[in-house]
Structure 1
Amino acid sequence: MRMTNKSWAAGLILAAVAAVPVLAQDAAPETQEVTADTVVATVGGQEITLGHMIVARNALPAQYQQLEPSVLFEGVLDQLVQQTALAQSLGGEVTRATQLQIDNQTSGLLAGEALGKKVQAAVTEEALQEAYDARFANAEPKTEYNAAHILVETEEEAQAIKEEIAGGADFAEVAKEKSTGPSGPNGGDLGWFSEGMMVPEFEEVAMTLEPGDVSDPVQTQFGWHIIKLNETRLAEAPPLEEVRGELATEIQNKVVDEAVREVLAEVDVEKPEIDFDPAAINNLDLVAD
């Protein structure tokens, strides 16, 4: 089984942490003032700093990040010492595939930093309030619907259920007994929804019912439905805090799109016309040396 770089690094951490003794409380050394440039180890003349450790720790899986700092420090330091020594053992003889990965990761990290600065500057309280006002300040209250349904496989089954309910059967009890949908055990209850949240065929019928009405059989991609509309309401605009994350994501996406367009407009991008099979992208042999 081939071990990935991520699992290899995690394995180093696991081995290093397992070898770290538990220190007695009274054995803790006196702390001193440090910076990101504080050297914590030197391997073959190459310095490893506290800054290297911080970013390495931040990239660890969550289960490792929860370890005590006294244990995690030694584990991360041992990982960096080992990987630095192993990297030096190559003597600069790196495979083409590895060098290409380094190139991609470097450009990816730098691109992420460039975008991160723009995003951080753009997502302000003023920008969030402006986006909130643009969406909700003049928006008409949206109608929301509370409904239940019974889902079966055939139109014949749905029609029989419709007649059973018309004859006085309790909708929720029939749903518990016969509905094949996940809401069946809950009496078919779908909770509240608004336009665009259900498949069109279901939504079109549900939104024409009056509270208390039960529909004729309705076919969707999931099967045949009998729908009961329980009630409707007008939904007021949500508070800013409730949609803060959604609005921030919208702003971020807009900033990223604009930033990419701007930088591409400022550089020369050439894509030579080369006649070859696009399937070459799957050929690892091309980067095997």
Structure 2
Amino acid sequence: MLNLLSKRLTFLSVAAFAAATMQPLHADDVPTVDSVVATVNGAEITLGHVLQSRAALPQQYQQLPVEVLLPGLIDQLVQQTLLSQTAGDAPKSVKLAMENHERTLMAGVTLDAVIADAVTEDALQAAYDASYGAAEPTQEYNASHILVEDEAAAAALTKEAREGADFADLAKEHSTGPSGPNGGQLGWFGTGAMVPAFEAATIALEPGAISEPVETQFGWHVIKLNDVREKAAPTLDEVRGELAAQVQQQAIEARIAELTEGASIDRSAADALDPALLNSITLDAE
């Protein structure tokens, strides 16, 4: 049985529970979210409560077989109802949590609608055109390097490489960097990916050329430029997720700004609060 509650709790018998509390549906009834699937001391548990409980589960539990989920979720709701019925009046902390939770959920309803209206193909195309429409192809570089601790060692390796020694073999033998075992290969990278001194030295090289020793905060480098290529702007589909997030954020910010502009908001009491109150007042304090 799926343990959806704390390990301190044990599940009720589904069969015994069903015999005592389930309200049978007639064969011609079509269950809806309002259909009562259980009662606990008169309190109704509906199919909607079950569905909402499932939606709140972590993803790995939502994928469990429905024949496991359904009795487990009903057990959970029954136990929660029993426990809540014996709790007495809700403490201040619970009332505040419920108010905050409702506020969060209703804000989410509004944001879902804002996002649904905002993220359209036209909006994505407009965002793409604004970000990439006029973008020129950029240069990418494929380079290898040997990293050593001092300039003298770097100069000696530069001389060996320029005189015909295999650069990859030199990197494997001498480089202290993580790319050493791979022959110093750094793969393809664009501008801004490397520290400025390394990048400037790489850009200044012709393919196949080897740099003078270059100092960075990591040590001394000997760089070999293997190749250069042009990288075109990405397609819309390649950046669709990024653009959707951008459009969503802009739409949310615009909606909040619009609502704020049209609302009457008084923060004077909040602005006068001592931040230390966060540590000095408890939730259940009267």
Shorter chain as denominator, the TM-score bin is: 0.7 to 0.9
Aligned residue number for residue 111 of structure 1? 107
TM-aligned CA deviation for residue 284 of structure 1: 6.4
Work out the CA distance in 2 between the residues paired with 1:148 and 1:245.
Answer: 33
Aligned residue number for residue 248 of structure 2? 252
TM-aligned CA deviation for residue 274 of structure 1: 2.1
Work out the CA distance in 2 between the residues paired with 1:127 and 1:263.
Answer: 22
Work out the CA distance in 2 between the residues paired with 1:259 and 1:232.
Answer: 45
- Say if 2:24 is the partner of 1:60: no
Work out the CA distance in 1 between the residues paired with 2:176 and 2:217.
Answer: 14
- Say if 2:41 is the partner of 1:48: no
Amino acid at match of 2:46: T
Cα distance change, pair 138–56 in 1 and its aligned pair in 2 (3 A)? same
Aligned residue number for residue 3 of structure 1? none
| Root mean square deviation of aligned Cα | 3.1
Work out the CA distance in 2 between the residues paired with 1:13 and 1:80.
Answer: 16
Match of 2:6 among 2, 6, 11: 11
CA contact (8 A) 2:14 2:75 kept: no
- Say if 2:84 is the partner of 1:71: no
Work out the CA distance in 2 between the residues paired with 1:33 and 1:153.
Answer: 77
Aligned residue number for residue 271 of structure 1? 267
Amino acid at match of 1:122: A
**How many residues are paired up?**
270
Cα distance change, pair 214–268 in 1 and its aligned pair in 2 (3 A)? farther
TM-aligned CA deviation for residue 275 of structure 1: 5.8
Amino acid at match of 2:61: Y
Work out the CA distance in 1 between the residues paired with 2:122 and 2:264.
Answer: 35
SS at match of 1:131: helix
| Structure 2 residues not aligned, in runs of 5+ | 16-26
Aligned residue number for residue 192 of structure 1? 188
Structure showing greater radius of gyration is 2
SS at match of 1:34: coil
Cα distance change, pair 20–241 in 1 and its aligned pair in 2 (3 A)? farther
Amino acid at match of 1:93: A
Aligned residue number for residue 177 of structure 2? 181
CA contact (8 A) 1:12 1:79 kept: no
Aligned residue number for residue 22 of structure 2? none
Amino acid at match of 2:123: A
Cα distance change, pair 216–68 in 1 and its aligned pair in 2 (3 A)? same
- Say if 2:83 is the partner of 1:81: no
Work out the CA distance in 1 between the residues paired with 2:72 and 2:178.
Answer: 46
Work out the CA distance in 2 between the residues paired with 1:240 and 1:15.
Answer: 52
- Say if 2:131 is the partner of 1:139: no
Aligned residue number for residue 234 of structure 1? 230
TM-aligned CA deviation for residue 56 of structure 1: 1.9
| Structure 1 residues not aligned, in runs of 5+ | 1-7, 22-29
CA contact (8 A) 2:4 2:72 kept: no
Mapping for residues 25-40 of structure 1, pairs under 5 Å: 33-40=30-37
Work out the CA distance in 2 between the residues paired with 1:118 and 1:180.
Answer: 53
Work out the CA distance in 2 between the residues paired with 1:284 and 1:10.
Answer: 32
CA contact (8 A) 1:20 1:71 kept: no
Q: Deviations over 1:202-224 (max 9, x none)?
A: 32332222212222333444444
TM-aligned CA deviation for residue 77 of structure 1: 1.7
- Say if 2:201 is the partner of 1:202: no
SS at match of 1:40: strand
Work out the CA distance in 2 between the residues paired with 1:48 and 1:152.
Answer: 70
Question: What TM-score do the two structures reach when normalised by structure 1?
Answer: 0.79
Work out the CA distance in 1 between the residues paired with 2:222 and 2:247.
Answer: 41
CA contact (8 A) 2:132 2:233 kept: yes
Identity among equivalent pairs (%): 49
Cα distance change, pair 68–207 in 1 and its aligned pair in 2 (3 A)? same
Cα distance change, pair 142–78 in 1 and its aligned pair in 2 (3 A)? same
Q: Deviations over 1:118-150 (max 9, x none)?
A: 011111122222222333333211222222233
CA contact (8 A) 2:201 2:211 kept: yes
Cα distance change, pair 174–116 in 1 and its aligned pair in 2 (3 A)? farther
